[in-house]
Amino acid sequence: MLVSDRSIAFEERLKGEGLRLARKSPSVLQVNLGKLCNLACVHCHVNAGPGRKEIMSEETVDRVVDWIARSPSIDTIDLTGGAPEMNPGFREFILKVRAIRPEVTIIDRCNLTILLEPGYETLAEFLALHRVKVVASMPCYQPENVNLQRGEGVFDGSIEALKRLNALGYGKDSGLVLNLVYNPIGAVLPPNQKELEFDYKEALRAEFGIEFDRLFTITNMPIARFLTQLRREGKADSYNQLLVENFNPASIDGLMCCDTVSVDWEGRVFDCDFNQMLGLPLGRVENRFLWELESEGLENEAIAMGNHCYGCTAGAGSSCGGALDG
């Protein structure tokens, strides 16, 4: 089925292709601990920044932890923000999860520079001690591109933070996993993930002696701050068209909305992080809270869709774990 323009809705595209988004029993709980961040990156779909006040409360953290305790299908806790580490209860959250579910994988989606901020000097050691997997933003291995997307001086800070993580054993086949995340600079699709990972490893090892495990390529989603940039540059329509024209039906089964529950800083639930930022609730039912659900009862529940979903299905496909075809 050929698509000539973005007027063909994503949901209709799936029907035309004979495809269906099917929710499985969830294995990933992605928790947005708040929108506060020490950076204000131009591609950020959360509109996070130093001035944001939305922070998950201690009470909500406890209710999320209680839900994890009674949800055996959940094997991964994915902590995000903003900078999730800036939530005052970040460390306590991890300690509570480790106490009740020591076997689960805990992911910290880290912007790296937070590890260097005053008051966070022991954060890297804490993550290592509790075997938290680090997924770190690193949109390029060249300073000018990183600083353009994330702010002046961010590249140097990121390199220093990566060296600190390497010194603790991260990315060194020690069981401490360090993955990097690439986002394109501008209105283009990511390049081949495997090839770019090779380039990253060669460049970072040769220039800085840095090691890491995997590189994830993630397509920029045309929402929030990145959409504002596209409109300012007059590229919103052409970028959306690029996503539509590169629709990849093979990506459907690997989309994160099929096995993830995303919870916002107030405890409301969504199918994915992007739907959360657009206010599209899980199953399109307003004001559902995590603690009102049973994880086993979510299988086959409807997934809320919109045309932004083309962003996850374009090219090689894109999810929080990178490209969907390798």
Distance in angstroms (rounded) separating the CA atoms of residues 14 and 280: 19
Per-residue pLDDT, 210 = 97
Predicted local confidence at residue 3, as pLDDT: 36
- Which residue, among 238, 244, 246, 192, has the nearest Cα to 217 in the 3D structure? 192
Relative to beta strand 269-270, strand 260-263 is: antiparallel
Is this model's pTM higher than 0.85 or not? yes
Helix H or strand E segment including 134: strand 133-137
Indicate whether 145 pLDDT > 80: no
Average pLDDT over residues 302-316: 92
pLDDT score at 5: 45
pLDDT of res. 285: 87
Determine which helix (DSSP H) or strand (DSSP E) holds 263, and give its type and residue range: strand 260-263
257-274, pLDDT tens digit by residue? 999 999 999 999 999 999
CA distance 96 to 266: 19
Tokens representing residue 149 in the block:
């997307």
Note the pLDDT of residue 185. Answer: 83
Section 270-292 average pLDDT: 92
Which whole-number Å values give the CA distances from 271 to 229, 266, 280, 289, 309, in the listed order? 25, 15, 8, 13, 11
For residue 234, the model assigns a pLDDT of 96
In the structure, what pLDDT confidence band is assigned to residue 278 with cuts at 50, 70 and 90?
A: very high
- Residue 6 confidence (pLDDT) above 70: no
| Residue ranges of domains in the chain, CATH in brackets | 10-323 (3.20.20.70)
Average pLDDT taken over every residue of the chain? 91
Q: With bands split at pLDDT 50, 70 and 90, how would you rate the model's confidence at 325? A: low
Instruction: Quote the pLDDT of residue 1.
Output: 33
Over residues 130-157, the mean pLDDT reads 84
149 vs 208: which has the higher pLDDT: 208
The per-residue b/e assignment along 48-84, b for 16 or more CB within 10 angstroms, e otherwise, is bbeebebbbeeebbebbbebbeebebbebbbbbbbbb
pLDDT(149) > 50: yes
Quote the pLDDT of residue 4. 38
pLDDT of residue 7: 54
